[in-house]
Structure formats: structure tokens, C-alpha cells
Amino acid sequence: MRPPQAGITLIEVLIVLVVIGVASGATLLGVNAADRGTGAAFEAQRLAQRLALGVDEALVAGAPLALVWDAGGYRFLRWQEDEPGWQPAAGALGARHELAGPLELSSGKADPAPVLISASATGRPQVFAITGRGAGWQVLFDGFSARAVPEGGA
């Protein structure tokens, strides 16, 4: 038996330190996981997937779409025959997607002109760059398919 005024043992101190270490490690992993989805690579993959989905939508619906974008984000518009004009596309494509944090979208052109997506897959190839938070990424779009590559990649 030890006297009640003896204090704490070394084992008790080590157990407290281990608990604090595990808790802080879990917190850091959680913060890192939350930040993973906001990088340029993630946004480039997302844009490439949405462009591919836009091509599919144009093929199925038989109506052209347009990618309208600026440095901070993008959305898709669809040509409406019944009300001639461009209207937001249905579903997630029509909602504006804002790029996270310091990321920027550019194409190397001064004016961010809309990109036409049609069933005939005509149009000039486009190269979009997403930069910020480390390495930049490019989205290569030929009017029919899109892919994301690291900046400088082919």
C-alpha cells in the first residue's frame, strides 16, 4: 500500500501521454483527410468527369450544352428548344461549382468564352488549368473526352 499523499506513478503519467498522443494523431489525420478533397488534382478530376457527363448528356438529349466558367468556378447550360435560349442544365451539372480556396481555373485565354459541347463532338480542343495549393493540373478536352493530367504532363 502506498500513502494517499504519494502522488502519481510513472505508469499513470505514461498512460495519460499515450491517450493525448492518440487523440492528437486522430485529430491531425481527420484534418488532413478533410483537406485532401480540395486540391487541384481533385478539382481537375471532377471537371474532367463533369465534361464527360456533359458529353453523354448532349448525346442522349440531342441538345447542345455549354460550359460557362470563370476563374472561381463553372456550370453547364443546355439549349432549350421550347424556350429558345440557354438554361441551366438539369441536376448537378446546372448548379454552379465553386472551386475551393485559392484554386483558380484558366485556359490561357484572356476571355473565358463558353465551351460548346454537342452530340457531333465538333469544336476546338480546350486545355483548362487548375492552379493553387501546390502543383497545378490540366484538363484536356477534345470535344468528346476529357482527362486530367499533372501540369506539363501529356
What pLDDT digit, counting tens, does each position of 26-81 carry?
A: 787 766 555 554 588 889 999 999 999 999 888 888 889 999 999 899 999 998 88
Q: Which are the contacts of 136, defined by CB distance < 8 A and separation ≥ 6?
A: 40, 129, 130, 150, 151
**45 belongs to a structural domain:** yes
Q: How would you classify the pairing of strands 115-117 and 73-80?
A: unpaired
CATH code of the domain covering residue 84: 3.55.40.10
Query: What is the SS3 assignment for 70?
Result: strand
Examine residue 106 and state whether it is found in any structural domain, yes or no.
Answer: yes
Q: Is residue 127 part of a domain?
A: yes
Q: Is the pTM of this model over 0.75?
A: no
β-bridge mates for residue 80, sequence order: 85
Question: Domain for residue 89, yes or no?
Answer: yes
Task: Count the domains in the chain.
Answer: 1
Query: Which position has the grid cell 486530367?
Result: 148
Helix (H) or strand (E) holding 106: strand 104-106
Enclosing domain of residue 90? 40-150
Residue 143, domain member (yes or no):
yes
Give a yes or no: residue 6 inside a domain. Answer: no
104: in domain: yes
Residue 21: inside a domain = no
